[in-house]
A = this chain, B = another copy of it.
Protein backbone atom coordinates (compact mmCIF):
# COMPACT_ATOMS: atom_id res chain seq x y z
CA UNK A 1 0.00 0.00 0.00
CA UNK A 2 1.27 3.48 -0.75
CA UNK A 3 2.70 5.34 2.26
CA UNK A 4 0.00 8.01 2.17
CA UNK A 5 -2.85 5.54 2.35
CA UNK A 6 -1.01 3.63 5.02
CA UNK A 7 -0.68 6.68 7.25
CA UNK A 8 -4.25 7.73 6.55
CA UNK A 9 -5.51 4.29 7.45
CA UNK A 10 -3.45 4.22 10.64
CA UNK A 11 -4.67 7.65 11.72
CA UNK A 12 -8.30 6.88 11.01
CA UNK A 13 -7.92 3.57 12.77
CA UNK A 14 -6.59 5.50 15.75
CA UNK A 15 -8.89 8.44 15.85
CA UNK A 16 -12.16 6.97 14.69
CA UNK A 17 -12.33 4.03 17.04
CA UNK A 18 -12.90 3.82 20.74
CA UNK A 19 -12.56 0.80 23.04
CA UNK A 20 -14.63 0.32 26.11
CA UNK A 21 -14.49 -2.74 28.36
CA UNK A 22 -17.45 -5.14 28.13
CA UNK A 23 -19.10 -5.79 31.40
CA UNK A 24 -21.42 -8.26 32.99
CA UNK A 25 -24.36 -6.63 34.73
CA UNK A 26 -25.25 -8.86 37.65
CA UNK A 27 -28.79 -8.44 38.98
CA UNK A 28 -28.41 -9.96 42.42
CA UNK A 29 -29.63 -8.06 45.44
CA UNK A 30 -27.17 -9.36 47.96
CA UNK A 31 -24.12 -9.01 45.73
CA UNK A 32 -25.30 -5.62 44.52
CA UNK A 33 -25.79 -4.16 47.98
CA UNK A 34 -22.54 -5.59 49.36
CA UNK A 35 -20.48 -4.37 46.43
CA UNK A 36 -22.10 -0.95 46.32
CA UNK A 37 -21.41 -0.58 50.06
CA UNK A 38 -17.76 -1.51 49.52
CA UNK A 39 -17.50 1.01 46.68
CA UNK A 40 -19.24 3.71 48.73
CA UNK A 41 -16.91 2.96 51.63
CA UNK A 42 -13.84 3.38 49.46
CA UNK A 43 -15.28 6.61 48.04
CA UNK A 44 -16.02 7.90 51.53
CA UNK A 45 -12.44 7.10 52.58
CA UNK A 46 -10.99 8.89 49.55
CA UNK A 47 -13.15 11.98 49.92
CA UNK A 48 -13.32 12.08 53.69
CA UNK A 49 -9.83 11.17 54.77
CA UNK A 50 -7.51 11.84 51.86
CA UNK A 51 -9.17 15.04 50.68
CA UNK A 52 -10.77 16.62 53.71
CA UNK A 53 -8.75 15.41 56.72
CA UNK A 54 -5.29 15.08 55.19
CA UNK A 55 -5.91 17.89 52.70
CA UNK A 56 -4.62 15.86 49.81
CA UNK A 57 -5.79 18.51 47.36
CA UNK A 58 -3.28 21.05 48.57
CA UNK A 59 0.45 21.47 48.07
CA UNK A 60 2.60 22.45 51.05
CA UNK A 61 5.55 24.77 51.67
CA UNK A 62 7.72 25.52 54.67
CA UNK A 63 8.78 29.00 55.67
CA UNK A 64 12.01 30.92 55.60
CA UNK A 65 12.01 32.37 59.10
CA UNK A 66 13.83 34.96 61.19
CA UNK A 67 13.61 35.45 64.97
CA UNK A 68 14.76 38.38 67.12
CA UNK A 69 14.45 38.61 70.87
CA UNK A 70 14.80 41.28 73.52
CA UNK A 71 14.82 40.82 77.29
CA UNK A 72 13.70 43.55 79.64
CA UNK A 73 13.82 43.59 83.40
CA UNK A 74 16.23 44.17 86.23
CA UNK A 75 17.49 41.74 88.85
CA UNK A 76 18.61 42.69 92.34
CA UNK A 77 21.04 40.96 94.70
CA UNK A 78 22.25 41.85 98.16
CA UNK A 79 25.21 39.57 98.91
CA UNK A 80 27.29 40.28 102.00
CA UNK A 81 25.77 43.75 102.18
CA UNK A 82 26.79 44.50 98.61
CA UNK A 83 23.72 45.78 96.78
CA UNK A 84 23.84 45.12 93.09
CA UNK A 85 21.51 45.41 90.17
CA UNK A 86 21.70 43.18 87.08
CA UNK A 87 20.21 44.53 83.88
CA UNK A 88 19.81 42.76 80.53
CA UNK A 89 23.36 43.64 79.55
CA UNK A 90 24.52 41.68 82.61
CA UNK A 91 22.32 38.61 82.42
CA UNK A 92 21.62 37.82 78.73
CA UNK A 93 24.10 35.78 76.69
CA UNK A 94 24.64 36.64 73.90
CA UNK A 95 23.62 40.26 73.90
CA UNK A 96 22.47 40.79 70.29
CA UNK A 97 19.02 39.19 70.47
CA UNK A 98 19.44 35.78 68.86
CA UNK A 99 16.79 33.05 68.76
CA UNK A 100 18.90 31.05 71.19
CA UNK A 101 20.08 32.73 74.40
CA UNK A 102 20.62 32.24 78.13
CA UNK A 103 19.15 34.24 81.00
CA UNK A 104 21.38 34.02 84.08
CA UNK A 105 19.50 33.04 87.24
CA UNK A 106 22.34 31.94 89.53
CA UNK A 107 26.11 32.21 89.58
CA UNK A 108 29.35 31.37 91.35
CA UNK A 109 31.74 34.30 91.15
CA UNK A 110 35.53 34.13 91.48
CA UNK A 111 36.91 37.64 91.52
CA UNK A 112 40.35 38.85 90.56
CA UNK A 113 41.90 35.75 89.03
CA UNK A 114 45.36 36.25 87.61
CA UNK A 115 47.73 33.94 85.77
CA UNK A 116 50.14 32.25 88.18
CA UNK A 117 50.83 29.15 90.26
CA UNK A 118 48.49 27.94 92.96
CA UNK A 119 47.21 24.69 94.47
CA UNK A 120 44.43 22.73 92.78
CA UNK A 121 41.10 22.12 94.52
CA UNK A 122 41.01 19.69 97.41
CA UNK A 123 39.37 16.91 95.40
CA UNK A 124 40.45 13.27 95.65
CA UNK A 125 42.14 13.20 92.28
CA UNK A 126 44.36 16.21 93.05
CA UNK A 127 45.44 15.15 96.55
CA UNK A 128 49.13 14.38 97.03
CA UNK A 129 51.68 13.70 99.74
CA UNK A 130 54.90 14.66 98.02
CA UNK A 131 56.17 16.11 94.76
CA UNK A 132 56.45 12.65 93.23
CA UNK A 133 52.67 12.33 93.28
CA UNK A 134 52.34 15.28 90.91
CA UNK A 135 53.68 14.68 87.41
CA UNK A 136 55.03 17.84 85.82
CA UNK A 137 53.43 18.89 82.53
CA UNK A 138 50.28 16.87 82.95
CA UNK A 139 46.92 18.48 82.35
CA UNK A 140 44.10 16.55 84.02
CA UNK A 141 41.02 15.86 81.87
CA UNK A 142 38.85 18.21 83.93
CA UNK A 143 41.67 20.02 85.67
CA UNK A 144 42.16 23.76 85.95
CA UNK A 145 45.75 24.05 84.82
CA UNK A 146 49.14 22.71 83.89
CA UNK A 147 50.86 20.82 86.70
CA UNK A 148 54.21 22.17 87.87
CA UNK A 149 55.25 18.96 89.59
CA UNK A 150 55.12 20.36 93.12
CA UNK A 151 52.84 19.28 95.94
CA UNK A 152 51.77 22.26 98.01
CA UNK A 153 49.47 23.16 100.89
CA UNK A 154 49.31 22.98 104.66
CA UNK A 155 46.76 20.59 106.13
CA UNK A 156 45.49 19.14 102.86
CA UNK A 157 48.11 19.00 100.15
CA UNK A 158 47.20 19.17 96.47
CA UNK A 159 49.22 19.40 93.28
CA UNK A 160 50.28 22.86 92.18
CA UNK A 161 49.20 24.13 88.76
CA UNK A 162 49.89 27.04 86.46
CA UNK A 163 46.37 28.44 86.10
CA UNK A 164 44.13 31.41 86.60
CA UNK A 165 44.58 31.77 90.36
CA UNK A 166 42.90 31.30 92.72
CA UNK A 167 41.31 28.24 91.17
CA UNK A 168 37.50 28.28 90.99
CA UNK A 169 35.70 26.28 93.67
CA UNK A 170 32.27 25.41 92.27
CA UNK A 171 31.05 22.85 94.77
CA UNK A 172 28.58 25.06 96.60
CA UNK A 173 25.77 26.16 94.29
CA UNK A 174 23.89 29.06 95.93
CA UNK A 175 20.50 27.90 97.20
CA UNK A 176 18.10 29.63 96.71
CA UNK A 177 19.24 30.99 93.37
CA UNK A 178 20.73 34.47 93.64
CA UNK A 179 18.61 35.95 90.85
CA UNK A 180 15.14 34.65 91.70
CA UNK A 181 14.00 38.11 90.58
CA UNK A 182 14.44 36.80 87.04
CA UNK A 183 10.88 35.50 87.37
CA UNK A 184 9.62 38.96 86.48
CA UNK A 185 11.78 39.59 83.45
CA UNK A 186 9.93 39.89 80.15
CA UNK A 187 10.89 38.45 76.78
CA UNK A 188 9.81 40.10 73.54
CA UNK A 189 9.88 37.89 70.42
CA UNK A 190 9.72 39.26 66.90
CA UNK A 191 9.31 36.58 64.24
CA UNK A 192 9.02 37.00 60.50
CA UNK A 193 8.07 34.10 58.21
CA UNK A 194 8.00 34.01 54.42
CA UNK A 195 6.50 31.22 52.34
CA UNK A 196 8.43 31.68 49.07
CA UNK A 197 6.32 29.26 47.01
CA UNK A 198 3.21 31.37 47.60
CA UNK A 199 4.86 34.77 48.04
CA UNK A 200 3.29 35.22 51.47
CA UNK A 201 4.99 37.21 54.25
CA UNK A 202 3.74 37.16 57.81
CA UNK A 203 4.96 38.45 61.16
CA UNK A 204 3.97 37.42 64.67
CA UNK A 205 3.07 41.08 65.24
CA UNK A 206 -0.26 40.38 63.59
CA UNK A 207 -2.97 42.83 62.63
CA UNK A 208 -4.12 44.62 65.76
CA UNK A 209 -0.78 44.68 67.56
CA UNK A 210 0.70 48.16 67.82
CA UNK A 211 3.12 50.00 70.12
CA UNK A 212 0.40 50.77 72.66
CA UNK A 213 -0.65 47.12 72.95
CA UNK A 214 2.94 45.94 73.28
CA UNK A 215 3.68 48.40 76.12
CA UNK A 216 1.23 46.73 78.44
CA UNK A 217 0.23 43.24 77.30
CA UNK A 218 1.54 39.97 78.66
CA UNK A 219 1.14 36.61 76.93
CA UNK A 220 -1.56 34.35 78.25
CA UNK A 221 -2.61 31.15 76.46
CA UNK A 222 -6.32 31.94 76.79
CA UNK A 223 -6.79 35.70 77.20
CA UNK A 224 -3.95 37.11 75.08
CA UNK A 225 -2.48 34.31 72.96
CA UNK A 226 -1.03 36.68 70.39
CA UNK A 227 0.83 39.05 72.70
CA UNK A 228 4.55 38.70 71.87
CA UNK A 229 5.68 39.68 75.39
CA UNK A 230 6.26 36.73 77.75
CA UNK A 231 6.91 36.84 81.48
CA UNK A 232 9.75 34.49 82.40
CA UNK A 233 7.94 32.95 85.34
CA UNK A 234 4.99 32.12 83.06
CA UNK A 235 7.30 30.54 80.46
CA UNK A 236 8.84 28.28 83.09
CA UNK A 237 5.46 27.28 84.45
CA UNK A 238 3.97 26.59 81.00
CA UNK A 239 6.94 24.30 80.28
CA UNK A 240 6.15 22.20 83.32
CA UNK A 241 9.15 23.31 85.38
CA UNK A 242 9.36 24.71 88.88
CA UNK A 243 11.04 28.12 88.86
CA UNK A 244 13.03 27.73 92.07
CA UNK A 245 14.61 24.48 90.90
CA UNK A 246 15.38 25.53 87.37
CA UNK A 247 16.78 28.85 88.61
CA UNK A 248 19.25 27.10 90.92
CA UNK A 249 20.90 24.63 88.53
CA UNK A 250 19.72 26.02 85.20
CA UNK A 251 17.66 24.32 82.54
CA UNK A 252 16.47 24.56 78.98
CA UNK A 253 13.14 25.58 77.51
CA UNK A 254 12.05 25.38 73.91
CA UNK A 255 9.53 27.92 72.64
CA UNK A 256 7.94 26.59 69.48
CA UNK A 257 6.21 29.10 67.23
CA UNK A 258 3.90 27.10 65.03
CA UNK A 259 2.59 28.53 61.79
CA UNK A 260 0.03 26.20 60.22
CA UNK A 261 -1.69 28.21 57.55
CA UNK A 262 -4.38 27.36 55.04
CA UNK A 263 -3.76 29.92 52.33
CA UNK A 264 -7.03 29.16 50.60
CA UNK A 265 -8.47 31.42 53.29
CA UNK A 266 -7.57 35.04 53.94
CA UNK A 267 -3.95 35.72 54.91
CA UNK A 268 -4.98 37.38 58.14
CA UNK A 269 -6.12 33.98 59.41
CA UNK A 270 -2.49 32.88 59.29
CA UNK A 271 -1.47 33.37 62.92
CA UNK A 272 1.20 31.84 65.13
CA UNK A 273 0.59 29.48 68.02
CA UNK A 274 3.13 29.40 70.86
CA UNK A 275 3.90 26.21 72.78
CA UNK A 276 6.47 25.69 75.51
CA UNK A 277 8.51 22.58 76.13
CA UNK A 278 10.94 21.69 78.83
CA UNK A 279 14.01 20.17 77.21
CA UNK A 280 16.23 17.51 78.75
CA UNK A 281 13.93 16.14 81.37
CA UNK A 282 12.41 17.72 84.40
CA UNK A 283 14.83 19.25 86.91
CA UNK A 284 12.07 19.18 89.51
CA UNK A 285 13.21 15.71 90.29
CA UNK A 286 16.94 16.07 90.65
CA UNK A 287 18.24 12.57 90.32
CA UNK A 288 21.93 12.84 91.05
CA UNK A 289 22.67 9.74 89.05
CA UNK A 290 21.07 11.10 85.93
CA UNK A 291 23.47 12.51 83.48
CA UNK A 292 24.02 16.19 83.11
CA UNK A 293 21.21 17.91 84.95
CA UNK A 294 20.75 21.63 84.56
CA UNK A 295 22.52 24.14 82.35
CA UNK A 296 25.65 26.16 82.99
CA UNK A 297 28.71 27.69 81.29
CA UNK A 298 31.64 29.85 82.28
CA UNK A 299 32.23 33.46 81.32
CA UNK A 300 34.90 35.98 82.25
CA UNK A 301 35.27 39.76 82.35
CA UNK A 302 38.85 40.77 81.70
CA UNK A 303 40.51 43.91 83.06
CA UNK A 304 43.92 45.37 83.86
CA UNK A 305 44.96 46.17 87.40
CA UNK A 306 48.41 47.50 88.22
CA UNK A 307 49.54 46.62 84.72
CA UNK A 308 48.53 43.01 85.36
CA UNK A 309 45.92 41.17 83.31
CA UNK A 310 43.17 39.95 85.59
CA UNK A 311 39.73 38.48 85.16
CA UNK A 312 36.55 37.89 87.11
CA UNK A 313 35.21 34.41 86.41
CA UNK A 314 31.48 33.63 86.55
CA UNK A 315 30.06 30.14 86.44
CA UNK A 316 26.65 31.06 85.07
CA UNK A 317 23.59 28.93 85.77
CA UNK A 318 20.64 29.99 83.72
CA UNK A 319 17.64 29.20 81.62
CA UNK A 320 18.50 28.50 78.02
CA UNK A 321 15.76 29.48 75.58
CA UNK A 322 15.63 28.00 72.10
CA UNK A 323 13.03 29.59 69.88
CA UNK A 324 12.10 27.17 67.12
CA UNK A 325 9.81 28.00 64.24
CA UNK A 326 7.68 25.24 62.73
CA UNK A 327 5.78 26.15 59.63
CA UNK A 328 3.59 24.57 56.99
CA UNK A 329 1.40 26.43 54.57
CA UNK A 330 -1.07 24.71 52.31
CA UNK A 331 -2.79 25.93 49.21
CA UNK A 332 -4.98 24.28 46.59
CA UNK A 333 -2.87 22.91 43.76
CA UNK A 334 -3.95 20.89 40.71
CA UNK A 335 -1.07 18.41 40.83
CA UNK A 336 -1.62 16.84 44.27
CA UNK A 337 -5.37 16.90 43.60
CA UNK A 338 -5.06 14.86 40.41
CA UNK A 339 -2.46 12.61 41.99
CA UNK A 340 -4.87 11.90 44.84
CA UNK A 341 -7.64 11.24 42.33
CA UNK A 342 -5.37 8.94 40.38
CA UNK A 343 -4.46 6.95 43.49
CA UNK A 344 -8.12 6.96 44.46
CA UNK A 345 -9.10 5.37 41.17
CA UNK A 346 -6.45 2.75 41.77
CA UNK A 347 -7.84 1.97 45.21
CA UNK A 348 -11.31 1.81 43.70
CA UNK A 349 -9.95 -0.91 41.50
CA UNK A 350 -9.16 -2.90 44.63
CA UNK A 351 -12.84 -2.70 45.62
CA UNK A 352 -13.72 -4.21 42.25
CA UNK A 353 -11.22 -7.04 42.80
CA UNK A 354 -12.72 -7.80 46.22
CA UNK A 355 -16.23 -7.95 44.81
CA UNK A 356 -15.09 -10.15 41.97
CA UNK A 357 -13.65 -12.56 44.49
CA UNK A 358 -16.95 -12.72 46.34
CA UNK A 359 -18.80 -13.20 43.07
CA UNK A 360 -16.55 -15.86 41.61
CA UNK A 361 -15.60 -17.89 44.66
CA UNK A 362 -18.12 -17.43 47.43
CA UNK A 363 -21.60 -17.23 45.99
CA UNK A 364 -23.74 -20.34 45.38
CA UNK A 365 -24.14 -19.48 41.70
CA UNK A 366 -20.43 -18.87 41.18
CA UNK A 367 -20.03 -21.36 38.37
CA UNK A 368 -22.71 -19.47 36.51
CA UNK A 369 -21.02 -16.11 37.03
CA UNK A 370 -17.68 -17.58 36.06
CA UNK A 371 -19.18 -18.50 32.72
CA UNK A 372 -20.73 -15.08 32.32
CA UNK A 373 -17.48 -13.29 33.10
CA UNK A 374 -14.94 -15.41 31.29
CA UNK A 375 -14.83 -16.54 27.72
CA UNK A 376 -12.37 -19.35 27.69
CA UNK A 377 -10.21 -19.89 24.63
CA UNK A 378 -8.96 -23.37 23.75
CA UNK A 379 -7.25 -24.19 20.50
CA UNK A 380 -8.19 -22.37 17.35
CA UNK A 381 -10.08 -25.38 16.05
CA UNK A 382 -12.18 -25.84 19.14
CA UNK A 383 -13.08 -22.20 19.30
CA UNK A 384 -13.98 -21.82 15.66
CA UNK A 385 -16.52 -24.58 16.22
CA UNK A 386 -18.12 -22.97 19.27
CA UNK A 387 -17.81 -19.49 17.91
Residues of A participating in the B interface, judged by any CB pair closer than 8 Å: 14-29, 31-33, 35-36, 45, 49-50, 54, 64, 66, 68, 70, 72-74, 76, 83-85, 87-90, 93-98, 100-102, 115, 139, 141-146, 161-164, 181, 184, 186, 188, 190, 192, 194, 196, 203, 205, 209-214, 252, 254, 256, 277, 279-281, 288-292, 295, 297-305, 307, 310-311, 313, 316, 320, 322, 324, 326, 334-335, 338-339, 341-347, 349-350, 352, 355-356, 359, 365, 368-369, 371-378, 380, 383, 387
Contact = CB atoms under 8 A, between A and B. Distances in A.
Given A87-B164, A302-B301, A372-B22, A252 B68 contact: yes
Interface of A is mostly: mixed
Contact of A20 (B14, B26, B162): B26
A27 B378 contact: yes
Nearest to A116: B83
B290 A211 contact: yes
A321 B75 CA distance: 31
Contacts of A356: 20
A185 to B, nearest CB: 10
A375 B24 contact: yes
A343 B349 contact: no
Nearest to A29: B16
A240 B77 CA distance: 47
Residue among A25, A70, A341, A375 with max Cβ neighbours from chain B (10 Å): A25
Given A23-B374, A347-B342, A372-B375, A85 B163 contact: yes
Given A64-B256, A291-B209, A341-B350, A23 B28 contact: no
Contacts of A74: 139, 143-146, 163
How often does this chain occur in the complex, in copies?
3
A181 to B, nearest CB: 7
Contacts of A64: 254, 256, 324, 326
A24 B22 contact: yes
B85 A146 contact: yes
Contact of A18 (B66, B190, B307, B359): B359
Residue among A33, A139, A356 with max Cβ neighbours from chain B (10 Å): A139
Contact of A297 (B76, B95, B102, B341): B95
A372 B139 CA distance: 91
Contacts of A346: 341-346
A213 B346 CA distance: 55
Contacts of A350: 341-342, 345
Contact of A211 (B15, B291, B324, B369): B291
